[in-house]
Amino acid sequence: MATNTFSPNADLVNDNFKLTIPCLLTGYSFEIYNRWGVSVFKTDNPQFGWNGNDQNYECPDGVYFYTVNAVNELNVPLNKTGYIQRFR
C-alpha cells in the first residue's frame, strides 16, 4: 500500500503520504492521528494525501497512526491500520 516514512520538506520527493489501493472504490475514509489519538488529517477522497500539516500548522516530526476504511467495487470492505514516520 505505502511506505511508512515521508518527508514533507518541499523537495518534491516523498512530500505527501498517500495510500495506493489498486482497485475501484465505492467508499473511502482515510484518517491520520498523532500519538495522543487526536485526528490531524481526514479525507474521503482517495486522490488526497497528507502533507504533514494539521490544517495550516506544520505537525512535529514523529510517529503518526492511520486508519483506512474502504469498500471495493464488489462491496468487499478493505480496512487497514498502520503507522507513518514523519521527518524533514
Give residue-wise pLDDT tens across range 15-63.
Answer: 678 777 778 888 999 999 999 999 999 999 988 889 888 988 988 999 9
Domain of 36, in residue numbers:
5-86
Residues linked to residue 25 through DSSP beta bridges, in sequence order? 72
Question: pLDDT (tens digit, 9 = 90+) per residue, 3-24?
Answer: 677 777 766 666 678 777 778 8
Q: How many residues does the chain have?
A: 88
pLDDT at 1: 43
pTM equals 0.83
CATH number at residue 42: 2.60.40
Among residues 67, 71, 63, the alpha carbon closest in space to that of 82 is found at 67
- Listed in order, strand segments (DSSP E) in 24-74 are 25-33, 39-43, 53-54, 57-58, 62-72
The count of domains in the chain is 1
Give, in order, the Cα–Cα distances in Å from 41 to each of 24, 29, 73.
23, 11, 25
pLDDT at 24: 86
pLDDT at 44: 94
